[in-house]
Structure 1
């Protein structure tokens, strides 16, 4: 990229040549502290830079299915300081740029503080720390404090609050022109109850002064420009994580730096399943010959204009590449070549535009692996180990099969983010206004991390679920209520979606099971995740299943506590406790009697934090499409739940 970060703007995580180190977990670097997010370190606030600015060496991880969907060659996982070849880690940029001294209250951009630092620091200090890694006021010998307010735009842009313009245009004695040499001070009220009116910005050069009253009004900047006939407060289009700006005509809004709506990461996850999880595939990916292949293909992409031309060049080299890799991993070239062909040949975008991680086809591949429909030799590998259980020993109504997944690997990739409004369902954000991709189009990888864990897969009898859904009109009515509320949302206008009683049942059941399993298996609720498989023949594949698995683990996986709860002597008890526990909520009768919807955008019925909701990391639907009524009925219709009769006879 052309606008590279300068050394004083670029902070490198765990760089051995620096004396300052910041530790961020791989999962945090992909989720809440991903590209474009601000990270509050003890001595300053930084923003994670785009992957183009990261060190060249990241740990490469692979998932062929997800690579196909996102059209990348691999995924890059931030390395740790215990891995010498990956110590460079992640790059950060200083943002916000405005800092104030808590003692003298001077308030100015970091570049002004840096000028003072260079002017007043001793030569020895400048030699050891030429870029003022820790912002500091040399006059007061105080660490500086970053501004807590920023402005964000619905198009994903972010910038410092317009402190100078605000102080002059909102001057208490009437609007003033910005003076030639503005010098600001930042003052807070003497009492904790003063609020925004107690925070004032003063220009000591011209005595302009304004409080932050109305600063958080979403329309204030628009109104100020309209009043004065200017465009002073129009969004600057600033993208500090890329170190450049774009043209934007929208008006931003002020937000607290730590507000949740400042940054919504868009992550996609995928299970690595057979045959992609076998030992041979992993060995090929780890070989140096495979890396060489990718480098050569990257060169082909620069020279050729079409995927067909690139594929022809790849095919001509396959025999040679297979022989090279075969010598490295000590396997016959004949079995390596078809795997290379599968991995390296480019897929045309027009081949299946609907092939996304939430598509029926994508989920059906996982469903077949979890139910054991994949060829037997592929079911016991390094990254996927499945055990089929005898369903007769469980005696749980509606349950068709139980599979214990002793080993599973999941890839979670960060594709982009939004500000102010949450992202849509599309993996690459094509359905979301203001979606910002974390990478440039020519970059061939996304930031990601992998989790190895374990899980329990429950398959349900689809016919029984269909018969139950058709049993009473009120069941369909409750599902239509949720569906109607969904279509009334901004996302519903863009992405049509059917909300069936079967899906709401499976989703709600997964939530109550996760809550109960956290008591039984030793994992916290936030350490467990769900994956719902629900579709009909009309969708292309008949599915009805729940996969509950660990959401955190190291390279060796987890300790088996979750799988243990899937055994015949444990799961029936856990299942019954979960269902019976959902009969009463501490917020009843309000919760169970809800008919108009509750929660975000009223997308839940009988479901709240007290009975059904999970941490955001655990639910793939962001805690919507839930209804206990589908499980155990309601006060008015206590027989409509799938397990109403089971509960009544218990």
Structure 2
């Protein structure tokens, strides 16, 4: 969280009646005061709707898209991101009713004292809504605490306090008598289930073992640390009847049997409950990494064909004018132009033929739900990469391109010392990447189970959003392509080696042993990328580590995009990688990365990266690491010392990496796997 971050986070609309046990705040909290800020990329991948954002004084959960609409209505014109290729993928996942990609509600300020955009922000609710007093260990719901947020320029000072705090133990001699005001912090324990619900932990029922307190109807509770005694974690105590119980009992599979057996189906981000859930809740801590997994799709914006231009204009007409209005005046182009001009659409460069094609696109009947679901069942995420790969194979188009898409690329000469099996180098001088947020899951990431769209937690109360949040990132990069014929020959050789068979077996064990209630019958072999992907992925990681020392960007700022799939009846094979850096809240980056595409600099960088990959400080353990039963890790000769990259850089969470595919390394049996680049001492 930074003061300069563009997107503000504000508490929920004060007009709603709220209750702290069912997703509600006390009257003193019902305001639109700013409580924090976040970068667009954080709101997309880390703190989106349904996630828990930890603020200095408490935690909030960004609300669902229903609550964003009143924020957008404060502006006459709602901005949209027009990118038909990505919008079609979003519609395939969420339904044909989705008609727009919208940026986050934010407006730039003219100066530090301006109030531009002060009424815009991301609506959020306080969650969790059980707090613990830091002065006396009192544990209770949100209405028992007081809220303060009075400084307009210091949202970090917003906090909840316990005004009647008596302190711990007896008053010390000479200390002032009376009660004091102590800050309160959110209680860390929550309940969640595989259907994406999350709820407060039932502390009162827990400490009384599912029964009411015999001494009071609503007893006061205490939460004390018990890490010095026999148990680890917090101890819950009832001040009325003296009952105590440790939170350590709720952990693990044994503890899960002591929790409520039926999930209440609560969605705090929607202020709603599902009627039926059917899943068993499990204990989870507020900061757990598996509490929220974003599901996103992204594309690099490419120069559009005439059909894509018509579709883009059609999408904008659909958003700005509506289908009914376009249909009503379909034969009157001047009226359509006038209506579009009134909505701030520049139609001066649009020909009548192009406008007619866009109108025709708007009037095409949407596909049925059965057709959409059938298309989704057979959809492969690689389809988003194919247009990018195909464009990069046509260097003759690069000099004639018009920079209307935000993409500028240059086919670079190869350095004389660059390894011969790297066939092409392309400098990506400028690029624009559009990312769309589809939803989220809890406990299990989509890629880690079966990718069923029904697992996505809904973003609106009716489950059918008409728009989704999106970001536009601008930056630069370098594209490297390997010789396809050499990759195919190497891949055929490696596919028959004991090492590849060991990786296949480990992948099968990984699927079979995964603790996941959402896992379905999936053929594990269909989820294992081909050896060429392992090769490209490992090469990408060693280059990221090397480039970070020369380009001026940290390794965590560099990301990869792997184009690696075998040829099939539906598409040609690919073997390339793009290393790029982008920013979502600026006009681009500074050119330090693309400068490395200079032939002399790049060849030295690649040779140095391969030499470093040939040796690891953990060798020979790392170089000979091969999974064998019962091991089920999804990497080979790779570790933090040589190959692993940061979470923000890797598209596969540091899986599918092995230096032995990159270089020929010694093996325990004396039969090394032939590396694509040969000996580690690359010249």
Answering whether residue 637 of structure 2 is matched by residue 606 of structure 1, we say yes
Is the 8 Å Cα contact of residues 534 and 542 (structure 1) preserved in structure 2?
A: yes
CA RMSD of aligned residues (A): 3.8
Q: Which residue of structure 1 lines up, in the alignment, with residue 113 of structure 2?
A: none
Are residues 278 and 610 of structure 1, via their aligned partners in 2, closer, same or farther at CA, if it must alter by over 3 Å?
A: farther
Task: Output the CA distance in 1 between the equivalents of 2:591 and 2:139.
Answer: 54
Are residues 447 and 588 of structure 1, via their aligned partners in 2, closer, same or farther at CA, if it must alter by over 3 Å?
A: same
1:501-520 per-position Cα deviation (integer Å, ceiling 9, x unaligned) = 21111111111111111111
How many residue pairs are counted as aligned between the two chains? 601
Are residues 357 and 445 of structure 1, via their aligned partners in 2, closer, same or farther at CA, if it must alter by over 3 Å?
A: farther
Task: Output the CA distance in 2 between the equivalents of 1:90 and 1:145.
Answer: 22
Q: Which runs of 5+ in 2 are unaligned?
A: 1-13, 92-97, 110-115, 151-156, 165-179
Structure 1 window deviating more from structure 2 (27-36 vs 206-215): it is: 206-215
1:152-181 per-position Cα deviation (integer Å, ceiling 9, x unaligned) = 1121111111100011018xxxx7756652
Are residues 479 and 321 of structure 1, via their aligned partners in 2, closer, same or farther at CA, if it must alter by over 3 Å?
A: farther
Where in structure 2 are the equivalents of 1:347-358 lying within 5 Å?
Answer: 348=367, 350=371, 353=375
Q: Which residue of structure 2 lines up, in the alignment, with residue 236 of structure 1?
A: 264
**Matching residue within 281, 288, 294 for 1:265:** 294
Answering whether residue 485 of structure 2 is matched by residue 459 of structure 1, we say no
Where in structure 2 are the equivalents of 1:60-209 lying within 5 Å?
Answer: 60-71=80-91, 72-80=98-106, 82=108, 84-85=116-117, 87-113=119-145, 134-139=159-164, 140-169=180-209, 180-189=216-225, 193-194=228-229, 196-197=231-232, 199-209=234-244
Task: Output the CA distance in 1 between the equivalents of 2:489 and 2:444.
Answer: 39
**Matching residue within 485, 488, 498 for 2:506:** 485
**Deviation at 1:378?**
3.9
Is the 8 Å Cα contact of residues 412 and 597 (structure 2) preserved in structure 1?
A: no
Is the 8 Å Cα contact of residues 424 and 431 (structure 1) preserved in structure 2?
A: no
Is the 8 Å Cα contact of residues 201 and 210 (structure 1) preserved in structure 2?
A: yes
Q: Which residue of structure 2 lines up, in the alignment, with residue 642 of structure 1?
A: 676
1:394-450 per-position Cα deviation (integer Å, ceiling 9, x unaligned) = 632212211111111111222122222222279xx8527743133454322112212
**Deviation at 1:542?**
2.0
**Deviation at 1:560?**
0.9
Are residues 577 and 202 of structure 1, via their aligned partners in 2, closer, same or farther at CA, if it must alter by over 3 Å?
A: same
Q: Which residue of structure 1 lines up, in the alignment, with residue 465 of structure 2?
A: 443
Answering whether residue 89 of structure 2 is matched by residue 53 of structure 1, we say no
Where in structure 2 are the equivalents of 1:333-482 lying within 5 Å?
Answer: 333-334=351-352, 336-337=354-355, 340-341=358-359, 344=362, 345=364, 348=367, 350=371, 353=375, 359-372=381-394, 377-378=400-401, 380-391=403-414, 393=416, 395-424=418-447, 430-431=451-452, 434-439=455-460, 440-471=462-493, 475=497, 477-482=498-503
Are residues 5 and 604 of structure 1, via their aligned partners in 2, closer, same or farther at CA, if it must alter by over 3 Å?
A: farther
Task: Output the CA distance in 2 between the equivalents of 1:497 and 1:581.
Answer: 30
Where in structure 2 are the equivalents of 1:509-588 lying within 5 Å?
Answer: 509-538=539-568, 539-552=570-583, 554-588=585-619
Please state which structure has a larger fraction of its residues in helix: 1
Are residues 547 and 606 of structure 1, via their aligned partners in 2, closer, same or farther at CA, if it must alter by over 3 Å?
A: same
1:248-272 per-position Cα deviation (integer Å, ceiling 9, x unaligned) = 2332121221011111222222111
Are residues 196 and 27 of structure 1, via their aligned partners in 2, closer, same or farther at CA, if it must alter by over 3 Å?
A: farther
**Deviation at 1:10?**
7.9
1:208-246 per-position Cα deviation (integer Å, ceiling 9, x unaligned) = 222223122234242x37xxxxxx552211110011112
Structure 1 window deviating more from structure 2 (357-366 vs 233-242): it is: 357-366
Is the 8 Å Cα contact of residues 59 and 126 (structure 2) preserved in structure 1?
A: yes
Task: Output the CA distance in 1 between the equivalents of 2:33 and 2:57.
Answer: 14
Task: Output the CA distance in 1 between the equivalents of 2:163 and 2:206.
Answer: 27
Give the TM-score taking structure 1 as reference length: 0.82
Structure 1 window deviating more from structure 2 (579-588 vs 181-190): it is: 181-190
Are residues 194 and 53 of structure 1, via their aligned partners in 2, closer, same or farther at CA, if it must alter by over 3 Å?
A: farther
Are residues 610 and 332 of structure 1, via their aligned partners in 2, closer, same or farther at CA, if it must alter by over 3 Å?
A: same
Are residues 353 and 28 of structure 1, via their aligned partners in 2, closer, same or farther at CA, if it must alter by over 3 Å?
A: same
Task: Output the CA distance in 1 between the equivalents of 2:290 and 2:80.
Answer: 31
**Matching residue within 336, 346, 362 for 1:321:** 336
Where in structure 2 are the equivalents of 1:588-627 lying within 5 Å?
Answer: 588-596=619-627, 601-627=632-658
Q: Which residue of structure 1 lines up, in the alignment, with residue 169 of structure 2?
A: none
**Deviation at 1:586?**
1.6
Are residues 510 and 416 of structure 1, via their aligned partners in 2, closer, same or farther at CA, if it must alter by over 3 Å?
A: same
Give the TM-score taking structure 2 as reference length: 0.78
Where in structure 2 are the equivalents of 1:3-18 lying within 5 Å?
Answer: 5-6=16-17, 18=32
Task: Output the CA distance in 2 between the equivalents of 1:512 and 1:343.
Answer: 45
Task: Output the CA distance in 1 between the equivalents of 2:634 and 2:286.
Answer: 29
Aligned to 2:252, what secondary structure does the other structure show? coil
